[in-house]
Amino acid sequence: MADTKRKIDSDVGLLEKEKVKLKKPSRYKVILINDDFTPQEFVVWVLAKVFRKSMEESKQIMWTAHTTGSAVCGVYPLDVAQTKVEEVHRYAEEAGHPLQCRLAKEEEE
């Protein structure tokens, strides 16, 4: 019986575990761009609706964009960030406003 076991063991190859190093997905900032035409109330509404911000947070982000030219709305994986940008643009277009936002890759630390 020992001979049979030895033969089976020699016919079977050993599987070695391969160490896989997982990399976190890149993250992207969604940046709101100020314009002189979109009403502030609409911007606050969009921030609350699309980014699920409180009214106070939405007002702060809107004001930062208004006073500095742009503001970060949030940081997300690429697919989520792209969807958020598309939603903002869709709502703005439906309302007839030129509101824009863009993506920027978050710097890795």
The domains of the chain are located at: 31-109
We find that the CATH architecture of domain 31-109 is 2-Layer Sandwich (3.30)
pTM, two decimals, is 0.76
DSSP annotation string for 14-80: PPPPPP----PPPEEEEEEE--SSS-HHHHHHHHHHHH---HHHHHHHHHHHHHHSEEEEEEEEHHH
Question: What is residue 72's predicted lDDT score, i.e. its pLDDT?
Answer: 97
Q: Per residue in 19-64, pLDDT tens?
A: 888 888 899 999 999 999 999 999 999 999 999 999 999 999 999 9
Q: Per residue in 59-86, pLDDT tens?
A: 999 999 999 999 999 999 999 999 999 9
